[in-house]
């Protein structure tokens, strides 16, 4: 599978590289958002959006779009720089240290965002 080259985004806290990809696994499919500080050489933030009966992805027609069917439902296009900014800033405010060199994995991005629902209001989701 061909991986996309990471995209750059500049935040107040520095320069970050990020990308989105679809992952197939025995446990099911998921959309994965990955980011790292440009001064680091490997991904150390990974947010997984697993496909379940309550959560879905737009794959294959809308790769990178994730949907939470729980009321109130919302969707987020992970391919947009505004979504990358949101996810990186929420992870930083939630304790992710971009300089630690260890991978920080959020196994369920839907729950992560649901717990921070007020941040989603900026997207009209």
- Distance from C-alpha of 32 to C-alpha of 106, rounded to nearest angstrom: 10
> Taking a C-beta distance cutoff of 8 angstroms, is the pair 82, 123 a contact?
yes
pLDDT at position 125 is: 46
> Taking a C-beta distance cutoff of 8 angstroms, is the pair 50, 23 a contact?
no
pLDDT at position 73 is: 79
19 compared with 41, residue with greater pLDDT: 19
pTM: 0.84
29-46 burial string, b = 16+ CB within 10 Å, else e? ebbbbbbbbeeeeebbbb
Q: Read off the pLDDT of each residue in 19-31 and give the average, rounded to a whole number.
A: 83
- For 2-6, 23-27, 53-57, which range has the lowest pLDDT when averaged over its residues? 53-57
- For 9-23, 36-50, 62-76, 99-113, which range has the lowest pLDDT when averaged over its residues? 62-76
What value does the mean pLDDT of the chain take?
83
């Amino acid at each position: 599978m061909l991986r996309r080259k990471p995209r750059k985004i500049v935040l107040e806290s520095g320069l970050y590289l990020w990308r989105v990809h679809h992952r197939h696994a025995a446990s099911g499919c998921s959309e994965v958002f990955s980011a790292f500080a440009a001064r680091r050489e490997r991904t150390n933030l990974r947010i997984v959006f697993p496909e379940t009966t309550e959560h879905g992805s737009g794959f294959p027609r809308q790769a990178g779009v994730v949907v939470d069917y729980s009321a109130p439902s919302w969707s987020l296009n992970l391919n947009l720089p505004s979504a990358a900014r949101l996810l990186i800033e929420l992870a930083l405010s939630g304790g992710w240290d971009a300089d630690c060199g260890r991978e920080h994995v959020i196994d369920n991005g839907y729950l992560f965002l649901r717990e921070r629902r007020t941040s989603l209001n900026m997207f009209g989701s």
